[in-house]
Structure 1
């Protein structure tokens, strides 16, 4: 056998003495909740599946179920509640933590406040959730009737076919994402529960930043910047702030869930981010 120095042999073989990543010791299972739209549905497992599998590799009992992507908060929450009850039954846990992206954060708030799950949720972490709505919803509603109807018909067809037992009501959903609806209806009627931790993150890219933006979002980013300031292409930084604000991610709305639409160019690791969120939950005993 060649007489290699130990260090040289290790470099050749690539072996490490302890190669497995550190376990993240979360106490509660984690349910990851996706937002509006179909982007992640074309990936194996759907929205946030890859991130959930990464967390499982780190020891977190993570789940990323899917609900109808183009339906209202109230309608989606019926399915979310069923999924959470399944997780509680399967794990034997008394409660779960929720990590919710975009509209999923509104779903989570509704589940806690209006569907009696406040005693089954330890924490809610929202990422780029439009807590104060998005002017992009008004942009859609301002389109000519024929264009708006075509967009709604296409979204509703996708929403009913892309997921088992799917349903859709895309136009009503868009109406409920306007700043006016969120400010005057949703937020006053969906108060935070004092026994639940509420944390939030915002995202930024494009205008007024040095963060690369997925080209598909350029028009939306510019439109929203003129009306709400710095944003991630769909949700402004100010709209995303809720509860304890944890910071701004240098990633647009698409890259926050591990997608780059084939364009690359951004230095953001979604798996690492969600692992850091899980570490924060573990640090407070959740």
Structure 2
């Protein structure tokens, strides 16, 4: 069996519009698969629609609890989508750099989304959608959902400021992957997301590969959607199996001494 035991525990950090205690796991079977191969894996537990600073503060509490529980000096942070921005804020603004061995981001909009700016321009639609989503997730455990803050943080202008204010730490190893849907995608959800993000094309349905590049760029997962890149839809696309991808990723971290 492939050995995924790393020097430091793994903290999987989810993105928007889901919680780790939701009935449909954000990471699908990824966490269980990694544990089956020897990895020590924890989930992040931040809000589905929290702001980047608010969720990063929740991550800090979670990370410190894990370090205390395990006795480890550091963690490996593995983040998908907006979770990667919260991890970067945790490292750079909240001072977690000495305790972060690595940060791997998957489909994170490091350079922003033009589609996010376009949605914010639809003020009435955003207001109605935001109230609905905040209420839905507050009833399911969100402590401080903030739809406007979460979406406005993803615009190219906001991310330019964020990147200036959150420079990389020389203490942390950074790497990233992006994804790209080819053609119209496999299913109606893929096609809808591609239509909504046409201004950012090509994309994984939500984030472009160009925006996902940060630190050591590992490349683009071709023909893979935003959700499939995290394993949340529990399906195999031609040429991509989320469980196998994360096994290889974690095994590589282990070989690097992380």
Q: Per the shorter chain, which TM-score range?
A: over 0.9
Partner residue in 1 for 2:114: 135
Which of 101, 106, 123 is residue 122 of structure 1 equivalent to? 101
- Alpha-carbon distance in 2 for matches of 1:39, 1:193: 28
- 1:143 Cα deviation (Å)? 1.6
CA contact (8 A) 1:113 1:190 kept: yes
Aligned pair 1:196/2:168, yes or no? no
- 1:260 Cα deviation (Å)? 3.2
**Larger Cα-atom Rg:** 1
- 1:148 Cα deviation (Å)? 1.9
CA contact (8 A) 2:19 2:47 kept: no
The list of structure 1 runs, each at least 4 consecutive aligned residues, that deviate by more than 6 angstroms after superposition, is none
**TM-score, normalised with respect to structure 1:** 0.84
Which of 83, 88, 95 is residue 109 of structure 1 equivalent to? 88
Partner residue in 1 for 2:71: 92
- 1:265 Cα deviation (Å)? 7.2
Aligned pair 1:30/2:2, yes or no? no
Q: What does residue range 1-286 of structure 1 map to in structure 2 within 5 Å?
A: 21-38=1-18, 42-43=22-23, 46-48=25-27, 50-145=29-124, 147-163=125-141, 166-183=143-160, 185-207=161-183, 212-225=185-198, 227-250=199-222, 251-260=224-233, 266-267=237-238, 268-286=240-258
CA contact (8 A) 2:47 2:55 kept: yes
Structure 2 counterpart SS, 1:111: helix
Structure 1 counterpart SS, 2:233: coil
The alpha-carbon distance between structure 1 residues 134 and 220, as it changes in their structure 2 partners (threshold 3 A), is same
**92-101 or 52-61: which moved more?**
52-61
- 1:271 Cα deviation (Å)? 1.3
- Alpha-carbon distance in 2 for matches of 1:168, 1:26: 33
**TM-score, normalised with respect to structure 2:** 0.92
CA contact (8 A) 1:224 1:231 kept: yes
CA contact (8 A) 2:109 2:207 kept: yes
CA contact (8 A) 1:47 1:64 kept: no
Partner residue in 2 for 1:8: none
**167-176 or 235-244: which moved more?**
167-176
Larger RCO (alpha carbons 8 Å, 6+ apart): 2
Structure 2 counterpart SS, 1:232: coil
Mark the runs of 5 or more structure 1 residues left unpaired by the alignment: 1-20
- 1:213 Cα deviation (Å)? 3.7
Aligned length: 256
- Alpha-carbon distance in 1 for matches of 2:187, 2:83: 21
Structure 1 counterpart SS, 2:29: helix
Task: Encode CA deviations 1:94-133: one digit per residue, 9 max, x unaligned.
Answer: 0000010000000010000001100000000000000011
RMSD: 2.0
CA contact (8 A) 1:224 1:236 kept: no
- Alpha-carbon distance in 1 for matches of 2:21, 2:39: 23
- 1:166 Cα deviation (Å)? 2.4
